[in-house]
Structure 1
Amino acid sequence: MLKPYTVSLAMGMLAGAIYVAVGVNSPAPPIIALLGLFGMLVGEQIVPLCRRLIRRQPVTLAWFRHECVPKISGTPPSSGDHTP
């Protein structure tokens, strides 16, 4: 039950340590914070991509648009897209 909170706290501490190592003040300037959040959203898509590659399934633009883009942009997939 507390696992997501513990992981979130640990990742926040890791991000804070990286900020100090890079020399960015906390709270980070808005553009740096936004880029960090964008990086987190993109990074979340690495796991499904790797799983697909390990299973030797094709990584197509249609798959990327249906599976990754909605999670990165926060918009629902269009009804015309389907997972191949």
Structure 2
Amino acid sequence: MKPYLLSLGAGLLVGAVYSLMGVRSPAPPVIALVGLLGILLGEQVVPVARRLLEGHSPSAAVSQAGCARHLFGRLPGHDAIARDHT
């Protein structure tokens, strides 16, 4: 139940921001895509910040949080790279 309430709260917040910006929902495609990018990047702030507070270097914090894997998914050529390393 908690994830649903959090999702509803996030949706209400985004709706309020859209209203303040004068954008009707559904948002125009570019605005919606920029918003989705913000969501993806925002999800990575907490794990990276935790690692930075633990004393990791910025590059190590980003690497250990798996940001690239989360943001881009499985990139083309991943299987070929994995085969080369075995």
TM-score when normalising by structure 2: 0.78
Partner of 1:64: 62
Q: Is the 8 A contact 2:51 2:61 kept in 1?
A: no
| Alignment-derived partner of residue 52 in structure 2 | 53
Figure out how many residues of one structure are paired with residues of the other and give that number. 77
Runs of 4+ in 1 over 4 A off after TM superposition: none
Q: CA RMSD in A?
A: 2.2
AA of the residue aligned to 1:12? G
In structure 1, stretches of 5+ residues that fail to align are 80-84
Distance 2:47 2:69 in 1: 14
Match of 2:25 in 1: 26
Q: Indicate the structure with greater helix content.
A: 2
How far apart are residue 63 of structure 1 and its match? 5.5
Match of 2:6 in 1: 7
Structure 2 portions without partners, runs of 5+? none
CA distance in 2, matches of 1:63, 1:57: 6
TM-score (norm 1): 0.80
For residue 62 of structure 2, what is the amino acid of its counterpart? Answer: F
Provide the identity percentage. 46
Give a deviation string over 1:13-45, Cα, whole Å, max 9, x none.
110000000111111001110110110000111
User: In 2, Cα distance between the equivalents of 1:48 and 1:63?
Assistant: 8
How far the C-alpha of 1:69 sits from its partner, in A, is 0.8
